[in-house]
Amino acid sequence: MKIPFIKAHGAGNDFVIIDKNVDIIRKSKKVIKNLCDRRFGIGCDQLILLKQLGQYHQVFFYNSDGSLGKNCGNGLRCAYKYLTEIKKKKKVVIKSQKFLHYGKKIGKEYHINVGEISLDWKKIPLSKKMETQNLQFKKIKIPGVIKIMTANIGNPHCVVLVKNIQSINLEVLGPQLVSHAYFPEQANITFVQKLNNKLVKVLFWERGGGHTLACGSGTCATAFVLHHNHYVSAKIKVLTEQSQLETEVENKMVSLKGPAEIVYHSTINLA
């Protein structure tokens, strides 16, 4: 069975987008993992499956290990571009696991509302009641750590503010934090350095995917908790490893603006 797909990326965070035979693909974790595999499949950070449901386009995000993700800011921008520019849809409302998402094109970039933030320890979730904006990892040494904060924007996130991001050994600290006992569902990890009130620099380690060049929901969670804790303005620029994203916090909602690129179209044979 041949399946058409799109390869896309947002700020280097890359995706395979499929809108055919979605229900068949969703039933097989093996197929999902194979599609994401960079050696034996197409290769991507996440698989995006799109399905028309009435007035909405239902989106399903799958990590490269086959696990289901609940939100993805960079993936939402790529999905919005695909639906509006490739499929020529005039009115697009994307429905994720928890939110409705509305997008627009601004110049050459794409803006989308990523979702509503929760700081409730039960909703993040954490394994027990604790101060979500001041976590302590007693047995893990993080160079130059200033503050550790958590939030949920569909996915659980842990944001580690440090003095110098270059001192972070991501390959060591990422796996230690992502599966820490505090996080019963694991958590996406962001290391962030504040450059000024409107500019920060980040590194990401995602649950189910490991090191990624960018993480849209992580960018939004980072912007929110930094603003909530009075480190940055409501509207900031975020320097990822290969690109730049912009976020804006309004009450508990966070929006994201950045690039979305269609790399190529092709088909793959699913056994």
* Residues assigned a catalytic role: 72, 215
In whole angstroms, what is the distance from residue 2 CA to residue 148 CA? 46
Q: Which residues contact 100 (CB under 8 A, 6 or more apart)?
A: 56, 93, 94
Angle at 193 between CA 189 and CA 197, to 5 degrees: 120
Q: Find out whether 17 and 50 touch, Cβ atoms under 8 Å.
A: yes
| Cα 259 from chain centroid (whole Å) | 14
In whole angstroms, what is the distance from residue 142 CA to residue 14 CA? 28
Per-position DSSP letters for 13-80, written without gaps between them: EEEEEE-SSHHHHHT-HHHHHHHH-TTTS---SEEEEEEEETTEEEEEEEETTSPEES--HHHHHHHH
The token pair that represents 185 in the structure block: 């569902």
User: Which residues, in sequence order, are bridge partners of residue 189?
Assistant: 158, 205
User: Which residues, in sequence order, are bridge partners of residue 243?
Assistant: none
